[in-house]
Amino acid sequence: MRQLMSQQIMGKTKSTESIRRGFHILEMMTDRPITHSQIREKLINNYGIEVNIRDIERQMWTLTDIFPTRIEVDDSKKPYTYKLPKNHRKFSNMSPMEAVCLELAFDYLFPLLPNKSMDPMKPYLREAKATLQQKSATKMRNWKNKVLTLNEGLQLKPAKVNSKILQNIHAALWDGNTVLASYISKNKAFPSNYELHPAGLVYRGRISYLVCSFTNDTNKVIYLPLHRFRNIKLLDGKSIHRNKKIKNLAKNLMGFKLHPDKMSIELKSSKMAGSHLYETKLTEDQNISVTRDGFIKVKARVTDDMELRFWIRAFGDSVEVLKPKKLRDEFKQISKRMVKLYE
């Protein structure tokens, strides 16, 4: 009996050692071929596990049976080699939390990423999907059905962009090259050809823009809607904007900034129109007070751009511009034109 118990304990110990050794082998595997001798050397040097070549051979045959699509074997010649397939990530223990974070991030970032970056991401996404299919990940798997992001205001349908054109623009930005573009302006019936120096992409609302410069005027930065491109041909020349940050180039364009400095404004609004500013501030330095007649008065320093005007106009007659006089006069003229339009 004692001998039988000893044999059972020895068997369990060997099984545990084999499992632990298998995990370490999977961790060290990449898409570069590795031999039995190299595996043994790494086990000894990295994990302090002494093992003979014969045990390694048996272990690798077991692992390839368990993971036939994850481990490629080259047994055409000796020594045999093992590796992960191309575009397969290393074995790891991705947690359900990591998996759902990856899927949510990918859903948001997919339109922003160049096509070239997709292939290396596919193994991670496959593993995330597999992780979330596990029974223990049920709550995390359902989390995506519990959250929703909604944009404010009327949502227009996104302008359609030719996938091949977008792919070529991504390639030009990736390599920092110039392009020959066939582009149709808003007020023209037929496209024209331009050589452009791409700088980057800006996504604003439902429209995507290429920030760039014409070859004959590289000091002027412009933005062109992607849906108006009819063709993009990659050129060998290098864009002058290839090493520039798109944030610095586009910040004065996409907000339709009218003046480089900030201005002080004073607004008077109804309680319904202005009460949200207590919770979502116009600026950090805003000052809110309530008038005797129950209106809300807001003072703040803001950027002088079209976004500000769009925001104020959205409230109609519920918001009045008190200061500065120049902005008040501007809205006064807008109001007169609107009255005339509806007479």
Region(s) of the chain under CATH 3.30.70: 257-342
Q: Which residues are 224's β-sheet partners?
A: 210
In this predicted structure, what is the pLDDT of residue 264? Answer: 93
In this predicted structure, what is the pLDDT of residue 180? Answer: 96
Region(s) of the chain under CATH 2.30.30: 163-250
In this predicted structure, what is the pLDDT of residue 161? Answer: 86
Any residues with CB less than 8 A from the CB of 304 and at least 6 apart, and which? 257, 258, 259, 261, 262, 263
In this predicted structure, what is the pLDDT of residue 151? Answer: 67
Sign for the pseudo-dihedral over CA of 274, 279, 282, 286:
positive
In this predicted structure, what is the pLDDT of residue 157? Answer: 74
Chunked into runs of 10 residues, the chain (343 residues) has average pLDDT values of: 36 56 79 89 84 87 77 87 74 72 74 62 74 78 74 71 89 92 89 93 82 90 91 94 81 60 89 85 89 90 86 89 93 91 86
In this predicted structure, what is the pLDDT of residue 8? Answer: 37
In this predicted structure, what is the pLDDT of residue 193? Answer: 94
Sign for the pseudo-dihedral over CA of 318, 260, 243, 231:
positive
pTM for the model stands at 0.56
Average pLDDT, the chain: 81
Say if domain 163-250 classifies as CATH 2.30.30: yes
- Sort strands 207-214 and 192-204 into parallel, antiparallel or unpaired: antiparallel
Within 10 angstroms of residue 236's Cβ, the number of other Cβ atoms is 7
Nearest to 300 by CA among 287, 311, 291, 289: 287
| pLDDT tens digits for range 161-196 | 888 898 899 999 989 999 999 999 888 889 999 999
In this predicted structure, what is the pLDDT of residue 12? Answer: 37
In this predicted structure, what is the pLDDT of residue 255? Answer: 56
Region(s) of the chain under CATH 1.10.10.10: 16-83
DSSP-H helix ranges across 133-214: 138-143, 163-175
DSSP 160: P
Domain 16-83 maps to which CATH number in 1.10.3720.10, 1.10.10.10, 3.60.70.12, 1.20.1440.230? Answer: 1.10.10.10
Looking at the domain 257-342, which fold is it?
A: Alpha-Beta Plaits (3.30.70)
